Structure 1
């Protein structure tokens, strides 16, 4: 007698169908994320302002000095001004992605 003979027979069963309420919870949660993200992006507390990444200017000259200044100035343009705004926009994007995924799931007819 092998070990496989001792294992119980696995029954095929259908996965549980999500209730109507469970199917729409991601939409409500995504809308909440968008709302919180919009509020965080709107209010910019000065306590969360980022410091200037380049408080002192370089006086170096030559190719290396110019390359360093260009790189530093490029990083300054990309750096966030306020942490709250970046967190807010990230939450809003996450909420929109959640809503889009749920709606596409519903349109495609995929059931969990």
Structure 2
């Protein structure tokens, strides 16, 4: 009897749990980072200067409405806070995309493993 294939399957199965945990940890980290960014505040807008010194936030239009403009002013601290909120929103979207990609990847791997388990179960009858 050839035990080689059984040994190979056992070795592969030992590697599976740590890989799954690694993905789970990364998803948890992404979720935590996204929540922290949300808590600090996200600003989904672009910025513009009027007359070279008056800072405005320009939000995307909704349902064919005119774009909303919000006056921030000339205070460097307020401008820095607004720019930081824009940067947080961009970072949030990057993290969100990675989270969605990983989640889709894991859903696909789940289907693959489920199929494999079904096949192994059939071979044991």
Larger Cα-atom Rg: 1
TM-score band by shorter chain is 0.3 to 0.5
Q: What TM-score, normalized to structure 2?
A: 0.43
Q: What TM-score, normalized to structure 1?
A: 0.47
